[in-house]
A = this chain, B = another copy of it.
Amino acid sequence: MPELTSIVYLLLTVYLLCSANGLPVVRDITKLPQDSFGRPGLSHITVAGSLMHGLKEVEVWLQTFAPGTRTPIHRHSCEEVFVVLKGSGTLYLAPSSHSKAPGTPQEISIFSNSTFYIPVNDVHQLWNTNEEEDLQVLVVISRPPVKIFIYDEWQMPHTAAKLKFPYYWDEGLYQSTVKDEL
């Protein structure tokens, strides 16, 4: 019965290649789902995620910003580390203070092979201010899924910032998680 042996071998291989939650251990990032989540010029990939892959303490994203594309002005109470893989742009950062609003931010140049982290609750915005080239960043956050407070502008009081949870890329996954639990 060589066919049966082959099937058993195939099943064993698939089992060995899969982790407990049914995902392959090693995944090709270029084949992972990417989406703009309604933000033109953005490509977001959840490389390793809480709701998507069951991670509890860290989450990793790969994001590409076309020229002119930016994040909202926002803050979160998790740690966040960026590694710039390609391109350049500007980090706008308003260190947390006792002021009622973030106020005018620092403008800091970011570039290929640079790294920076956003201290907990510092209000920030990432902007591809390079008109020629895409900006590609690898983003690491702690305590996923991310809980983001969004500001309309830098003078908006902290208390008026709006919580967006689940965040755009977690939305569908969060709903299905909640449904699974019902």
Contact = CB atoms under 8 A, between A and B. Distances in A.
A140 B55 CA distance: 12
Contacts of A146: none
A56 to B, nearest CB: 7
A28 interface: yes
- Copies of this chain assembled into the complex: 2
A161 interface: no
A60 to B, nearest CB: 5
Given A25-B108, A83-B47, A108-B26, A95 B60 contact: no
Chain A contact-residue range equals 35 or more
A8 interface: no
A109 B26 CA distance: 8
A106 B16 CA distance: 7
Contacts of A60: 81, 83, 115, 140
A6 interface: no
A20 B57 CA distance: 25
Interface string A62-97: 000000000000000011010100000001010100
Interface in A85-140: 91, 93, 95, 106, 108-111, 113-117, 119, 138, 140
6 contacts: A25-B108, A29-B113, A47-B115, A57-B58, A57-B79, A60-B140
